[in-house]
Chain A
Amino acid sequence: MSLKVIGKARRRVDGRAKVTGLTKFADDIVLPRMVHCRLLRSSHPHAEILEINSEKAKQHPGVHLVLTGKDFPITFGIMPVAQDEYPLANGRVRYVGDPIAAVIAKDEQTCTEALDLIEVKFKLLATISSPEEALQNPEPRIHDYGDQGNIHRIQSYEFGDVDEALAKSDHVFDDLFFYEGNTHLPIEQHASVAAPDGEGKLTLWSSTQVPHYIHRALSRALQMPGSHIRVIACPNGGGFGGKCDLHNHEIVVSRAALKLGRPVKICLNREEVFYMHRGRHPVLMRMRTGVTKDGKLTGMHLQTLLDGGGYGSYGPASTFYTGVLQTVTYELPRYKFDACRTFTNKPPCGPKRGHGTPQPRFGQEVQLDKIAEKLKLDPAELRLGMVAKPNSLTANWLKIGTIGLAECIRQAVARSDWKNRYGKLPAGRGLGIACSSYLSGAGLPIYWNKMPHSGVQLLADRSGQVTVFCGATEIGQGSDDVLAAMVAEVLGIDPFEIRCVTGDTALTPVDLGSYSSRVTVMMGNAAIQAAEKLKAQIAEAAAEQLEVVPSRLSFSEGRVFLSENSNKSLSFKKAVEFAEAKFGTLGAVGSYSPPRAPGRYKGAGVGPSPAYSYSACVLEVEVDQATGWIAVPKIWIAHDIGRTVNPVLARGQVEGSVYMGLAEALMEEQIFRRLPPKMSHALVHKIPSLLEYKSPTSLDMPEIDTILIEDPDPNCPFGAKEAGQGPLLPVMPALANAIFDAVGVRIDELPITPDKVLRALKLKKSGKNPRIGPAHFPAVPYPKSIFVLPPWEGGDGKESKKDDAVAVV
């Protein structure tokens, strides 16, 4: 098959709007009679609200409405199992920034003035600032639900007898790692506009990645039928996972618009975005890994401890994701995974690019570097020797399809001249390698149902216009471009001839949203199915006119023609006319659900994906041994993308991932400090501004050599896997490993900052273990494991008793 659109470098279909300022982000929406909203947020991390007096605020000139917790009697949450937030606090605040009241007024300035007039009486409660404190202090409970005390989720899974595997190993490596939390930092601050329409129904325009989930959760939060709510996801000014929750402000402006009968807008300021967070969980990890003397993994026992912050958010999923994908990259015969997420009185953590997997990936890849060092093996060769097999099952019953990882490693190694330079660069300079894998879409939605994950509807008419409707959401990644490309390829027309209508729950079929790298695969498959149906109709009508059989027709470059004689041809537009005459109004739908995963144990739903992407990264570093300063001159990244839809955008996704990974590796941290006791002892964000929360600028970014490895996956549209999250994952450990090559110190925690490098260098100089990282893993009351036999030990994918395990060689 020769492809005309897929794989060709093109301007993205929405590119022109983005460079002319015409892309309408949520805060760009202005409606007649629109009023504005701002939220009063808690200045205390944990307190009961005894009284709220908003009388003065209500009397303030220009104020239309003041809302408090009384106006919102029921809880909400994005996951059905974590309905633990109130839109405005109902008697209790759980982190600094928790919304308490809302003022709706003629403009933002008036809102701000009125917020100062609201008086709140608090009764301060003891605060929990870390997972360790949460474990030590089951009381006071931050929530009255959760597995126990201040533990939100605690779980354990074992796939084969790991202790036995470790006991039989030639070496067991036992390491502790810590990954500090960080935040998404989209340049667009979250904004929403809610307005009642002529029928009294509600429309919400919002910076959201998941209009369908918002639609569903909003219906519950407002106790309004979904048929009376329309959610329109505006193009997002960056998402990265930060716009995946239903946020308090979205519910508040919706309620306010319905009460006032007029449009209400809110746009958060930057400090509020930092406090709303839902970003990367800080995770402490213990990783015990067995290896043979020739460098094969025998088993791994991973324990994770997550700092969840004040609410559930996507936490139950995040908890699983700190472990479930550890098995997908390398052959791992046995695996045990314990995880625990605690509540703390800090902004809630949630999904950020790579959702829960960058943390254990960092640990595993750094540990592999230590293993290679100990076994005196080349770290690249060590990895090449253990790459998971294509079309295989993992110990935890995930089904792997295609794997381009070996080729990724080979290319990154070749392009970086690894063999001649690793371990051989002058002191202070070094190379590090790391690999990773990621989902191309989660196998299950966040609420249980049997309906499609993505739906696409196509319309074509005599004008030659093709309109494609899909609930997928453009967050910058190129969702609309993928949609247009898929349809254009099948119908043989130019992508710019296609109009995309996306992310609108009133107009578009359900797509679950832009998260878990699912859009290309799921929406793409649905789009191809719809386009093939439409193509069949057009082909039948065109064949009749051309007096040929439909199966002999080709669609290409805007024409429908006989494959063996292109003179027998019609324009696409003319062919559509004949089809419309023959069949009536032309339309087709397509839908996609992922294949059923083989795991049958409780919890097997997190981890499966239609396809996994793979990446390998080599990173070069220069460390100034006097100051600890870290410079990264170049990064090589090879990504197994299955097939490239649009090379321009694919490269952008990969390089953007590398950028964000490097940012997390070197500088980004969402960290808190306590105010002095006389100032309330509150837990406040140390650096809630774009100036102090450091992210790389144009001057900080190294050259990136991007290599796309194509190994089309049969589960994927034209073979295309994800590219927007996976390539982030190997960057952080590649940096840590490069620093070891450069100066011989191990930094087992992120971010890796000059002060840590300097401390490690001092340890090295004084003959001590030159390692900076966590020294202690607390006693976590993990439960007895759910035991599942791996596929190669006679398992059937269901839970079984550990005693059933048969000895295997």
Chain B
Amino acid sequence: MSAIPQRVHLELTVNGEFAPVSFPSYKTLLEVLREDLNLTGTKHGCELGECGACAVLIDGEPQLSCLVLGVECEGRHIETVEGLANGSELHPLQAAFADLGAAQCGYCTPGILMTAKALLDKNLDVNREQIKEAISGNLCRCTGYQQIFEAIEEAARRMKP
């Protein structure tokens, strides 16, 4: 095995911004985001696709960034928690999570926020069962999930025109 893996240079689009970046080709999107683009808002809990902490949106769909290679992402639209707020105005999901206790330690929060955003982007008339199903791949050890469900429901209410 070569000690210094070959580097690649890619032009990514992250949170609507042009993000040219060069990195060793073996790196996952999670590692590229955190280590090469300094977007440490996206977290990791297993690097094996088990916990959901690293969820980001790729072309609007929630994906586990630890299971996606950086080299697969050129030309695709990547959204992370850093892009969720509008300037200093929180996204309704962020505001509801902060207000209603949906973030305790906050470590699983970015992954759940992004997963919930994908859900609400498609449908603001979500029910509790759909919410449970949508975030069933995101483990949270703090909350017992109840306040997360409520925050997503509240955000959906606030987002309705």
Contacts and interface: CB of A to CB of B under 8 A. Distances in A.
A122 B42 CA distance: 41
B47 A690 contact: no
Nearest to B94: A19
A62 B2 CA distance: 12
Interface in B131-153: 131-133, 135-149
A652 B104 contact: yes
Contact of A15 (B34, B98, B145): B98
B98 A19 contact: yes
Q: How large is the interface on A (under 10, 10 to 19, 20 to 34, 35 or more residues)?
A: 35 or more
Nearest to B137: A697
Contacts of A581: none
B20 interface: no
A187 B43 contact: yes
B141 A691 contact: no
Contact of B141 (A14, A18, A21, A695): A695
A20 B85 contact: yes
Contacts of A651: 101, 147
Given A21-B42, A651-B147, A656 B97 contact: no
Contacts of B95: 19
Contacts of A454: none
Contacts of B34: 28
A652 B140 CA distance: 12
Given A109-B5, A110-B3, A698-B135, A19 B106 contact: yes
A372 B80 CA distance: 55
Contacts of B80: 21
A352 to B, nearest CB: 12
Contacts of B90: 16, 19-20
**Most A C-beta atoms less than 10 A away, residue of B40, B48, B82:** B40
Main secondary structure of the interface of A (DSSP, over half): loop
Interface stretch (B6-14, B69-77, B107-115): B107-115
Contact of A690 (B51, B103, B104): B51
A651 B53 CA distance: 23
Contacts of B133: 698-699
A359 to B, nearest CB: 20
Interface residues of B, number: 62
A28 B24 CA distance: 20
B90 to A, nearest CB: 7
B21 to A, nearest CB: 15
A16 B41 CA distance: 13
A204 to B, nearest CB: 19
Contacts of A656: 104, 141-144
A270 B1 CA distance: 25
Interface string A458-487: 000000000000000001111000000000
B107 A187 contact: yes
Contacts of A109: 5, 24, 26
**Most B C-beta atoms less than 10 A away, residue of A12, A20, A659:** A20
A18 B143 CA distance: 14
A648 B141 contact: no
A270 B135 CA distance: 21
8 contacts: A14-B106, A16-B98, A17-B106, A188-B107, A236-B105, A240-B141, A690-B139, A698-B131
Given A19-B106, A188-B45, 8 more contacts: A19-B98, A189-B45, A238-B105, A270-B50, A651-B147, A690-B139, A701-B144, A704-B144
